[in-house]
Amino acid sequence: MSLAEQQKAEIEQARAAQAQTRRPTVPAMEELLFTALPVLDHGFVRVIDYMGDDAAVVQAARVSYGRGTRKVSEDEGLIRYLMRHHHSTPFEMCEIKYHVKLPIFIARQWIRHRTANVNEISARYSILDREFYIPAPENLAAQSEINRQGRGDVLTGDDAAAVLDLLRADAAQTYEHYEQMLNPEGPGLARELARMNLTLNTYTQWYWKTDLHNLLHFLRLRADAHAQYEIRVYAQAMLETVKAWVPMTYRAFLDYSAGAVSLSAPMLAVVRRMLAGEQVEQTQSGLSKREWIELMLALQPAQAAVET
């Protein structure tokens, strides 16, 4: 990831500013504020602002007049109870705002999470930077033969080289045409029209503000090992900010959401039969083949769903 000197100066100026406040702050989060965490080749995630902390979740759950005098262990126990039993509204009392730089095709996947406030840079008013996402060779994979949304084996040799050459050439050519169309000396096409020529690996930027409950829902899906790599690395960077911001909630999230699995009633019935010593096969389990496979995978020792 590369930042322009002006961008670096803006970040340093923001980090140098101090404000006196009565509202709760989190030292680890204050250290992270405005810092650009690199993602992919030109992208980043940085925290612009936040409201609340672990104590705010507890305060909302108890509807107390202040932050309380209970022991830290009691507060963490309550947070874990809330997470375990899906009591989401106390987590909605905390909010966070991110500045994210990401490829357009990932932004279009990300925007499906409709529980945030979003303001994206407008290519009607601004000229987008000449920056494109080019995957590392180890992230180039063929289409999976069994998963329409997934990847198969990694491309190697001439196939990988050909794909990378095409990506670089197409992005460079379309951006050059974009600049030509914008040229005021001719043709001087309007920015809102010239932008339609850009490739989806062009980088865009936005401010993304959400509450803690909906952020955790986003991270449970997008930091999962099955999520698309390019959005997963953004989620993992954001997960690090959650760890700094609300460490008690972060630990509960790993235990009861990201690292947990849900079992249907028929699945649970099969597990109970197995615990009773019965040898259960898929054909007499009452589960479909897909559900049976999911259950077997859930019962196997596995790598944590979210990198910690």
Query: Block means of pLDDT (10 residues each) for the chain, length 308 residues?
Result: 81 86 92 95 96 95 77 91 95 97 97 95 94 93 73 85 95 96 93 95 97 98 93 97 98 94 94 95 94 92 49
Task: Mention every residue, 6+ apart, whose C-beta is less than 8 A from residue 107.
Answer: 120, 204, 206
Measured between alpha carbons, how far is 159 from 175 in angstroms, rounded to an integer? Answer: 24
Among 156, 176, 200, give the residue marking a domain's end: 200
Question: What pLDDT sits at residue 235?
Answer: 98
Q: Is residue 304 part of a domain?
A: no
Give the CATH number for residue 228. 3.30.1360.170
> Residue 222 catalytic?
yes
Residue 203: strand pairing partners: 103
Question: What pLDDT sits at residue 71?
Answer: 79
Decide: 127 and 191 in contact? Cβ < 8 Å.
yes
**Residues 120 and 158 reside in one and the same domain:** no
Q: Is residue 305 part of a domain?
A: no
For 263, half-sphere exposure in the C-beta direction (CA atoms, 13 angstrom radius) is 14
Question: What pLDDT sits at residue 100?
Answer: 98
The catalytically annotated residue of 80, 222, 251, 273 is 222
Question: What pLDDT sits at residue 308?
Answer: 42
Measured between alpha carbons, how far is 240 from 199 in angstroms, rounded to an integer? Answer: 30
Domain hosting residue 72, numbered range:
5-127+203-258
Q: Is residue 308 part of a domain?
A: no
Total domains in the fold of the chain: 3
Measured between alpha carbons, how far is 22 from 45 in angstroms, rounded to an integer? Answer: 27
Among 160, 181, 200, give the residue marking a domain's end: 200
Question: What pLDDT sits at residue 68?
Answer: 66
Measured between alpha carbons, how far is 160 from 163 in angstroms, rounded to an integer? Answer: 5
**Residues 118 and 146 reside in one and the same domain:** no
Q: Is residue 101 part of a domain?
A: yes
Q: Is residue 84 part of a domain?
A: yes
**Residues 123 and 140 reside in one and the same domain:** no
Among 154, 178, 200, give the residue marking a domain's end: 200
